[in-house]
Chains A and B, each alone.
Chain A
Amino acid sequence: MDLKQLYQDIILEHGKSPRNLGKCEGYNYDAKGYNPLCGDKVHVFLKLDNKKKVKGLTFEGEGCAISLASASIMTELVKGKSFKETKEIMAAFLNMIKNNSEIQINFLDDDQKTKLMSLSGVKQFPMRVKCATLSWHTLVSAMEGKKREINTEATD
């Protein structure tokens, strides 16, 4: 295990100053996520236009550097994407964390891919995987319009 792989500069920087904090104006979907093991909480606010394009994506929450950075990077990458593209990014991210697979998405530039991949180090720290995936599972829930709170103990 290598701590440097886990706490890369990108993560530390996003963890310290998360982007897109707060409630975005005119959000029409939101969902809450909770990790009962550590008490981490996230609340995702999503604004979809009538073509289901992500017009706005923000979050509120408290948590460790990994969970804040992951949420922050997620909001940056998903904003402006279509519903289909968003699902693709989410699938690629979760697949990277679970199966170590590479991010191969044409519509993301290298800088964006690097940001996503900065979180790949968590797979070596099994206890921390849920910190990285909490906000993503919560975004899925928001997009599907589910009212149920996401609980990391009830997700993969």
Chain B
Amino acid sequence: MDINKIKSQFPIFSRKINGKTLVYLDSSNSSQKPLSVINKLNDFYKNEFSNIGRSINSLAVNATNKFEETRLSVKNFINAKAKEEIIFTKNATEAINLVATTFGKQNVSEGDEIIISELEHHSNYVPWHFLRENNKAIIKFAPINEGGDIIISKLKELITTKTKIIAVTHLSNVTGSIVPVKEIIEIAHKKNIPVLVDGCQSAPHISVDVSDLDCDFYAFSAHKAYGPTGVGVLYAKKKWLEKLPPYVGGGAMISEVKKDKITYAPIPEKYEAGTMPTAEVIAFNESIKFINSIGIKNLMEHEKEITDYALEKIRKINSVKIIGNPKNKAGVIAFTIKGVHPHDIATILDEDGVAIRAGHHCCQILHEKLNLVATARASVGIYNTKDDIDMLCKAIENCRKIFDLK
């Protein structure tokens, strides 16, 4: 696999940041886009644009077919059983809100319990908090150990007859912990409890097989998977999508509308009200093709090589501490430098063209647990090279120099 050839497919890397070559280590936040995705957006608007759905004209038929092709690609990408189990949303956040709202309406009442973990991104906490506020549900947090792994035995102890759903991340966007979701799902299913998996970080970086996991819900965002913004994916088992009430009401999600009665469209349309991000969904197919052209195994191998190299090099730098040491770690490296606030780190690194993120990464619960206000985070994508890591380390050294650290 020739990484430079892959990297050359991303036009952004030909530009300079502050006069320096761009070293992009913020893919956990959002990934860069290959030319094929950008071209597809352009091409669709230029030559093929139409809304999808009911219009009977050649453009509409073509757009509808292309839109459905992406659904089929996504289905294959995560190995769902049927393409109707793939719902397009605005982003993963909306997908989780969809589940929390509709599932909550039907299944969660006062005193019922929802289990999440201390690793969760705010997008897999706040939607459940709404159920705590509105339905008087109780949220329980499965604790993590010092390494940043969810303690499965403790999670098991949290399950009671009141537990209605478990929502857990597949891959932490701070510690990089790969969560053994299959094990959690097995435990939950023994008690007939459904499980939602937040796949934002896993979908673009590790192989995902929702049939093998047997999860009830799986959510991810296209923009983190080399795709356009404005597209999220909710995978849900057919039985849930058919049973749960609709989420957003409007055009396209209805079957028949009368003054006294409305019936809803079958899935997936039942959950796709109004005009969808048509061009973006269609262009997202190119992202999946891009990932498939590399092969998820090769992609994982490459990112592991870069991550291991980075961990080894960063660990050697004085006063730098890597946050979390999970059993299985993906390419997400949160770190602190003693005596330098993460925001100062990010500004100084940016001056060297190195883009990272600083802050709580939408994980305040986790940061509180780790007794940290903020961390700096470098995260790896398919386009990163060992040179990028060398540049990162050089920029960290520069940071230490400015702050006069020994």
List A residues at the B interface (Cβ < 8 Å). Answer: 1, 3, 6-7, 12, 16, 37-41, 62-66, 125, 127-128, 131
Contact = CB atoms under 8 A, between A and B. Distances in A.
Contact of A3 (B358, B364, B402): B402
Chain A at the B interface: SS class: mixed
A3 B346 CA distance: 12
B317 to A, nearest CB: 19
A128 B373 contact: no
Given A1-B18, A128-B343, A12 B351 contact: no
Nearest to A13: B404
B340 A3 contact: no
Chain B at the A interface: SS class: mixed
A128 B348 CA distance: 12
B18 A64 contact: no
B374 interface: yes
Nearest to A63: B341
B373 A16 contact: no
29 contacts: A1-B18, A1-B351, A3-B348, A3-B351, A3-B402, A7-B344, A7-B348, A7-B403, A12-B402, A12-B403, A37-B359, A38-B342, A38-B343, A38-B359, A39-B364, A39-B374, A40-B343, A40-B373, A63-B343, A63-B373, A64-B341, A64-B343, A65-B341, A65-B344, A65-B403, A66-B344, A125-B347, A128-B347, A131-B343
**5 smallest beta-carbon distances between A and B, as pairs:** A64-B341, A64-B343, A39-B373, A64-B344, A38-B359
A39 B358 CA distance: 10
A37 B374 CA distance: 10
Contact of B402 (A1, A7, A41): A7
B388 to A, nearest CB: 21
Contacts, number: 52
Nearest to B19: A1
Contacts of B374: 38-39
A7 B403 CA distance: 9
A125 B346 CA distance: 12
A15 to B, nearest CB: 8
B270 interface: no
A39 B359 contact: yes
Nearest to A7: B402
B367 interface: yes
Contacts of B250: none
A65 B405 CA distance: 14
A62 B373 contact: yes
A125 B253 CA distance: 46
Contacts of B339: 16
Contacts of B18: 1
A7 B404 CA distance: 12
A151 to B, nearest CB: 15
A69 B252 CA distance: 56
A34 B360 CA distance: 14
A12 B400 CA distance: 12
Contacts of A37: 359
A13 B339 CA distance: 12
B347 A6 contact: yes
Contacts of B404: 12
Contacts of A66: 343-344
A66 B347 CA distance: 11
Nearest to A11: B344
Given A12-B404, A41-B373, 16 more contacts: A1-B351, A3-B402, A6-B347, A7-B403, A16-B339, A38-B342, A38-B343, A38-B360, A38-B374, A39-B373, A39-B374, A40-B343, A63-B343, A64-B342, A65-B403, A125-B347
A101 B344 CA distance: 25
